[in-house]
Amino acid sequence: MKIFQKKKSFLKDNLLTILTVVGVFGGVILGISLRSSTDPWSKRHIMYLEFPGKIFLRMLKMLIVPLLVSSVVSAVGSLDLSLSKKIAFRSIGYYAVTTVLAVTLGIILVVTIRPGAGLSEKFGNETSQVQSVRNVLTQDTLMDLIRNLFPPNLIQATFAQYQTVLVAPPKDDSDPEKEIPLTDYTITNRYENTTNVLGLVVFAIILGVALGMMKEKGKTLLNFFQSTSEAMMVITRWVIWFSPVGVFFLVAAQVLETKSFAGLVEKLGLYFMTVLIGLLVHCFITLSILYFLVTRKLPFKVLGGLSQVLVTAFGTASSSATMPLTIQTLDDMGIDPRVTRFVIPVGSTINMDGTALYEAVAAIFIAQFRKVPYSFGQLIAVSITATFASIGAAGIPQAGLVTMVMVLDTVGLPSSDISYILAVDWLLDRFRTTINVIGDSLGSCIVDSLSKNELSKMDDIDRLNADPHELVEIAKADSHV
């Protein structure tokens, strides 16, 4: 009887997760069975199929800007400056260490497994060109990253970010074949249609610090942001019930769109496995050891508690879209909200271990099968650019693929080469997004554990300030002793 009741409560507690997992597998099955239908599916029909999934993504994305800004302002504003500085340093230290470890692991794996060796014949003359890739220098991409930290207009930052564009000068009539180097292109710019999350995070941190320093005078605005953040969490709890249906249609449409599986396995199978092994080792060895060293606990309970978050990350391939759910779940697990509301929004923007590892592996893989030699110095350069490329990648589907242009550049490969790995990228993206989210979540547990004493001391001070009688009682008790 007891066992039956236990089973029932397990089902009740995990109903949503179970349904979402069913959604993922159901989506794969539907996608595969629709692929075997005789008539090929047109782009329009695929668009109809993924429509419910896209609506789910839009609902999640709707929450990102208000949640991100209000969470960061309220987390930073409710701590005193020295403590928010400590939490920020601990988080950034954690982001840096884990990203560097992930990139190093990726490089070690790709250099030892050599997934690209002997593949050049298999790719043959496949010179599919990706036209939409931008032609810019690595320094342009890095400077854009810094420019976007300081958006000149906050309203614009909610929907657009700065991007350098290099325009080719007219060809020399006497020698039209002559290649013009990118450094001679005309420098212009445009505002790309994506939220400048990094700029918003920077402003939110600054505003939070200012409100914290203003003490009583800043209280009203701080309460506003705290209340907005709570309201977004309430909406998240509603939206998340759509996740089984949403991921079902997103995954089905994606599987349907994928061309030949057999051909892909032959060419990209080993590359795929190299990235996957790297992601698993990073999660179950590197991050788990780090978590154990700090908290003295094994991470499996936390990972189990995060299952709904992880399935959503896999289904949406977006750490930003998963962010509301990540914060809510960690709050429910008892992690201090002042920590989660800083570590998760900032982490989902800049801390992408999975993406960093994948960028390094992919660039070296392409160099291997194109038979482009790379030196040890270049491997170091790849690690550095892959780290920046992961910081610059937005938490949206396949953003890593775009910033990889910069990593390819360090081994002297043209940006159009990303077309070689395009076919499996949608699936790898889902795995690396899941690891990105795990990295942020374990990070907030680690920072929480490191900051426990200071946070509880601060709570005591706040309590005493709110109730001076308690202070008198303590003083009395002390004098009796």
Using an 8 Å Cβ cutoff, are 200 and 161 in contact? no
- Of the pair 20, 316, the CB lying nearest ligand ASP is at 316
Site membership for ligand ASP, residue 319 (CB under 6 A): yes
- Of the pair 199, 397, the CB lying nearest ligand ASP is at 397
**Closest approach of Cβ 352 to ligand ASP, in Å?**
5
> Hey, which residues between 354 and 383 contact ligand ASP (CB under 6 A)?
355
Nearest-angstrom CA–CA distance, 117 and 418:
17
Nearest-angstrom CA–CA distance, 431 and 355:
10
**Closest approach of Cβ 436 to ligand ASP, in Å?**
4
Site membership for ligand ASP, residue 433 (CB under 6 A): yes
Q: Quick one: which of 27, 151, 345, 395 contacts ligand ASP (CB under 6 A)?
A: 395
Site track for ligand ASP across 399-418, x = CB under 6 A: xx------------------
Site membership for ligand ASP, residue 397 (CB under 6 A): yes
Q: Quick one: which of 232, 382, 396, 408 contacts ligand ASP (CB under 6 A)?
A: 396
Site membership for ligand ASP, residue 436 (CB under 6 A): yes
Nearest-angstrom CA–CA distance, 434 and 415:
26
Site membership for ligand ASP, residue 429 (CB under 6 A): yes
**Closest approach of Cβ 318 to ligand ASP, in Å?**
4
- Of the pair 330, 357, the CB lying nearest ligand ASP is at 357
Secondary structure letter of residue 162 according to DSSP: E
Nearest-angstrom CA–CA distance, 407 and 228:
39
Secondary structure letter of residue 335 according to DSSP: -
DSSP H helices in 282-375: 288-295, 300-305, 307-316, 319-332, 337-350, 353-369
Dihedrals φ, ψ of 194, to 5°? -140, 150
- Of the pair 84, 441, the CB lying nearest ligand ASP is at 441
Spatial neighbors of 20 by CB under 8 A, at least 6 apart, are: 243, 244, 247, 308, 311, 312, 315
Site membership for ligand ASP, residue 393 (CB under 6 A): yes
Using an 8 Å Cβ cutoff, are 187 and 166 in contact? yes
Nearest-angstrom CA–CA distance, 151 and 382:
28
**Closest approach of Cβ 390 to ligand ASP, in Å?**
7
- Of the pair 61, 370, the CB lying nearest ligand ASP is at 61
Site membership for ligand ASP, residue 438 (CB under 6 A): no
| Window contacting ligand ASP (CB under 6 A); options: 67-75, 333-341, 416-424, 427-435 | 427-435
Q: Quick one: which of 287, 323, 352, 361 contacts ligand ASP (CB under 6 A)?
A: 352
Nearest-angstrom CA–CA distance, 26 and 8:
23
Region for 114 from its dihedrals, namely left if φ exceeds 0, alpha if ψ lies in -120 to 50, beta otherwise: left
| Window contacting ligand ASP (CB under 6 A); options: 59-67, 125-133, 225-233, 315-323 | 315-323
| Window contacting ligand ASP (CB under 6 A); options: 7-15, 54-62, 325-333, 431-439 | 431-439
- Tokens representing residue 435 in the block: 């690891």
Using an 8 Å Cβ cutoff, are 159 and 65 in contact? no
| Window contacting ligand ASP (CB under 6 A); options: 31-39, 288-296, 394-402, 443-451 | 394-402
Spatial neighbors of 409 by CB under 8 A, at least 6 apart, are: 137, 138, 385, 415
Site membership for ligand ASP, residue 432 (CB under 6 A): yes
Q: Crossing angle, helix 422-466 and helix 353-369, to 10 degrees?
A: 160
AA letter at 473: E
- Of the pair 109, 313, the CB lying nearest ligand ASP is at 313
Residue closest to ligand ASP when measured from CB atoms: 400
- Of the pair 76, 105, the CB lying nearest ligand ASP is at 105
Spatial neighbors of 315 by CB under 8 A, at least 6 apart, are: 20, 23, 24, 243, 246, 247, 250, 251, 430
**Closest approach of Cβ 402 to ligand ASP, in Å?**
8
AA letter at 125: N
Contact residues toward ligand ASP (CB under 6 A) are: 317-319, 352, 355, 393, 395-400, 429, 432-433, 436
